[in-house]
Structure 1
Amino acid sequence: MSTSLSASFTDAIGTVHVRSDVSPRIVSLVPSITELLCDLGLAAHIVGRTGFCIHPRQTVQHIAKIGGTKDVNIEKIRQLAPTHLIVNIDENEKPTVDALAEFVPHIVVTHPLQPRDNLALYQLLGAIFNAEAQARQLCDKFEAAYAALPRTATVSRKLVYCIWQDPWMTVGRDTYISAMLALIGWQTWLPDHASQRYPVFRWDEEMAQQIDGVLLSTEPYRFTEMHVDALEKQLGKPVQLVDGEMLSWYGSRAIAGLAYLKELAHQ
C-alpha cells in the first residue's frame, strides 16, 4: 500500500511554511511531536524539548529540557537559538507562543482532531524538514494499521473516559481521543450541556444509568488498578485501565495506537 505524499506546507492555523534550506534547529513543545520528529530521522535537529517529551527515551535524554508544555522557560529557548518551534493548540498556551514568536523565525502549529489527520501531520513535517521519504513510510504504516481495524463495531458502548481526578474530568466528542474510540464504535459520555472540550463532571446515579462502563487513562493523570477496583465497587459498572499514550498521542505513536484499538475491540 502506498500513500501519495504531496508537498504540504500549511499548518493547523493556515500558516504556509517554506522548506527549510538550512540545518534546522527545532524546539518541540509537544511530547508526541518530539517522538514523531525522531521517527522522521530528525532527532539531531531537535535542540529543545519539554520534560514530558519522554519518547524515544534513549534519544531524548540527550536533548535539553526547556520546562513543561505550559510552564516554558522562554529565556532558555532564546539561548538555544531555534529556527523552528512546534506547538499544539491544546497543549500550549497562546501567550507563551506569542512571546516565543518574537524571536523564533518559524512557528509550526499542529492540531490533529481525527486519526486520519496524522497523514497530513506526517506530510507537513516531512515537507518542511526535507524528510519526505520517511513521512511516506509513516503514511503507509498508518494506512495499513487503519485498514486492519474491524470494519464494523464489535460492541457499541457508551463510556466515560477519565483523564483527571479531583476534579474528575472527561473528554469532549470533538477531541482526538473520542475520535479514536469512535473507530471501534465506542462513544464517549458527556455531562449534559457540557461546553468545554475537557469538562468536569460528578458521579451520580443518573449518570451511571446512562453509561456502559468507564475507561481510566494512564495519562495525564496516572490512574492505576487501585482506582479501577475502587470505582467498580462504587458504580457497579465495568471499569478498565487503558493506555493513555496509545489513545491520545497523535504522530507516529498513532500507528501503534490503531493496533491497540484493534486489541480493545476484540476484548
Structure 2
Amino acid sequence: MSFPPIPSLPLSVTDQMGRRVAVPFPPQRIVSLVPSQTELLFDLGLGERVVGVTKFCIHPVEARQKAAVIGGTKNFHLEEIDALNPDLIIGNKEENYQEGIEQLAAKYPVWMSDISTLPDALDMIRRVGLITGRKPQADALADNIQTTLGQMPASEEQISAAYFIWRKPYMVAASGTFIDDLLQRAGFRNVFGQLGRYPEISAEQLQAAAPQQILLSSEPYPFSEKHLAEFQQLCPQATIRIVDGELFSWYGCRLQHTAAYLRELTIR
C-alpha cells in the first residue's frame, strides 16, 4: 500500500538581513544563488536536493551537471526558477540583486545571508545547517573553521598590502568586506582600509599608498602572471603575487583550507 507524501512543516526563521522566512522543513527543492553557498550545501550532503544553481557555481564540479543553471548571480532567469518549483531559495545581499530577490520572495521562501566578517560566515553556516536539517554537520564544520581560522596567532608586525579585485578600472577590497576581515586576521594592514567596500583607485593612489605587497586576486577579474609587470612598474619595491580569490572570498566550507593558505602567504 502506498501512502501520500507527508507535507513539510514550516520552520519560521530570521535570515541575516533580519527578514522572517517560513521554510518548509526540511526543504526538498533548493535553489542556490551563491557559489560558495552551493558548495556548502553539497558539502553538507544536500546535493540531491539542490535543483537550481547559477552559472558561477563551479564547485563541486557536479553542481551544474545535477542541477539546472538558472542564470547568473545578478540576472536570474525567473521563468526557469518557476519551472523548478523550489521550496527554498538561498541568496546573499552582496552577490545578488535586490530587484530579482524581491520578485522571488513574492513567490517563494528566500533566505538571505549578509556576510562581511568571519563570525558572519560561521553564523551563516550554522543557520543554513539548521534550516536544511543538517545542523550537526554544519555545527561541526563551523567549529572546525573557528578553530583553524578564528584562532590564528596575531602577527607581531603587520604587512601593508593592497588587494586588487579588478583591472580597468583598478578596484580593491577595502573596509567592510569579508576579504578585508581575512587580510587583518592573516597579519596584513590594508592600505586602502580607510575607504569603503570596493572602491576604484588610480595608479597614483596606489603609488602613494606604497604597499609592501600587492595581492592580485584570481577572481572576479582573472589576474594572472602576465599582469605582474604592470604592477611592478607602478610599485617597484612591492612584492606582487597572484592569490587564490576563492580562499579569500568564498565564505562556506572552503574556509577549512583558508588558514593554512594565509599562513603560507605571510611567511614567504
Q: How does 1:181-260 map to 2 (within 5 A)?
A: 181-190=183-192, 194=195, 196-204=196-204, 207-236=207-236, 237-260=238-261
**Aligned-pair distance for 1:120?**
1.0
Q: In the alignment, which of 110, 134, 137 is matched to residue 134 of structure 1?
A: 137
The structure with higher relative contact order (CA 8 Å, sep 6+) is 1
- The runs of 5 or more residues in structure 2 that have no matched partner are 1-10
Greater strand content: 2
Q: Which stretches in structure 1 are left out of the alignment for 5+ residues?
A: 1-6
The TM-score, its normalising length taken from structure 1, stands at: 0.89
Match of 1:179 in 2: 181
CA spacing shift, 1:169–1:209, aligned 2, 3 Å: closer
Larger displacement relative to structure 2 (252-261 or 90-99) = 252-261
Name the structure 1 match of 2:18. 14
Which consecutive aligned stretches of 4+ in structure 1 deviate over 4 angstroms post-superposition?
A: none
CA separation in 1, counterparts of 2:232 and 2:208?
Answer: 11
Separation (CA, whole Å) in 1 of partners of 2:111 and 2:183:
27
Q: Distance in 1 between matches of 2:207 and 2:193?
A: 8
CA distance in 2 between counterparts of 1:206 and 1:78 reads: 46
Q: Which residue of 1 aligns with 2:127?
A: 124
Q: Spell out, residue by residue over 1:219-267, the C-alpha distance to the aligned partner (whole angstroms, 9 max, x if none).
A: 0000001101332133202211100000011011112122211221222
Aligned length: 257
The equivalent position to 1:58 in structure 2, one of 52, 57, 62, is 62
Give the secondary-structure state (helix, strand or coil) at the position aligned to 1:13.
coil
Write the letter of the residue equivalent to 1:37.
Answer: L
TM-score (norm 2): 0.89
| Cα distance between partner residues in 1 of 2:64 and 2:201 | 36
Q: Pairwise CA RMSD of aligned residues?
A: 2.1
Which residue of the partner structure matches residue 3 of structure 2? none
C-alpha offsets along residues 52-96 of structure 1, whole Å, 9 cap, x if unaligned? 000011344221101110011111111111111111111011011
1:20-35 pair list within 5 angstroms: 20-35=24-39
Letter in 2 for 1:262: R
2:121 and 2:150 map into 1 onto residues whose CA distance is 15
CA distance in 1, matches of 2:150, 2:167: 35
Letter in 2 for 1:138: L
Q: What SS is found at the alignment partner of 2:183?
A: helix
State the distance in 1 between where 2:234 and 2:97 align. Answer: 36
Q: What is the CA-CA distance between 1:16 and the residue it aligns to? A: 3.7
Q: Which amino acid aligns with 2:58?
A: I
Report the 3-state secondary structure (helix = DSSP H, G, I; strand = E; otherwise coil) of the residue aligned with 1:61.
helix
Whole-angstrom distance in 1 between the partners of 2:163 and 2:42: 29
